[in-house]
Amino acid sequence: MLSQAGRLELTNAVFTSLPTFYMCSLELPKAVIKQIDKYRKNCLWQGGEINARKPPKAAWKLVCIAKKDGGLGVLDLGKQNEALLLKNFFKFFNRLDIPWVNLIWEKYYSNEKLPNHTKKGSFWWRDNLKLLQKFKSLTTVKPGDEKTCHFWMDRWQQQPLADSVPELYSFAKNKAISVQKALQHDD
């Protein structure tokens, strides 16, 4: 019989880490996350007493708060899944030498168009593209390879140029132009 601290450790070490491999690549459906959370709750609150009907000692939202903030430090699987998928955009936009990155660039963006509003690609890539705006809101651009930066839509300082100078943006002919293309044009 494990103590409450032991069950917490088991919940974090086993039930939380088991789906991590899949969450790095796939967006888990909410029903799957809900079922995993059910198992994690049962492990944490009931332990070996499967038929026990004891109420939980704390709300699950409180359990998922970091220990330093007064919670138990159990990971929120939905947020963890989102964070792991956002890492794919870092690899993609920095054109890391990874086979899937090269494949996506060659297959869908060989015409120098960057991913923005068009959702093309495999089911896996389209799932990732759902998080593109969130990724762009969390990151700033430091152009190195100007092909991967949107001139108007990416954040340079505090906000995208389209938001900081909307009047100028309204006159832009190509609103999805890359930095490289913008620097090449004299007009």
- Cα 6 to its chain centre, rounded Å, is 30
Instruction: List Cβ neighbours of 90 (8 Å cut-off, separation of 6 or more).
Output: 139
- Supply the pLDDT for residue 14: 83
* Max avg pLDDT among 46-50, 145-149, 165-169: 165-169
Instruction: Look at residue 120 and tell me whether its pLDDT is greater than 60.
Output: yes
- Supply the pLDDT for residue 138: 85
- Range list of H helices, 46-160: 60-63, 77-93, 99-108, 123-129, 132-138
- Supply the pLDDT for residue 163: 79
Q: Which residues pair with 160 in a beta bridge?
A: 155
Instruction: Look at residue 144 and tell me whether its pLDDT is greater than 70.
Output: no
For 145, the token pair is: 């390879």
Instruction: List Cβ neighbours of 128 (8 Å cut-off, separation of 6 or more).
Output: 85, 88, 89
- Supply the pLDDT for residue 3: 82
Average pLDDT over residues 135-140: 82
Query: Is the entire prediction scored with pTM above 0.85?
Result: no
% residues pLDDT > 70 (the chain): 87
pLDDT digits (tens, 9 = 90+) for 84-109: 999 999 899 888 999 999 999 888 88
Q: How far apart are CA 174 and CA 162, in angstroms?
A: 12
Specify whether the CB–CB gap between 1 and 52 falls below 8 A.
no
- Supply the pLDDT for residue 117: 58
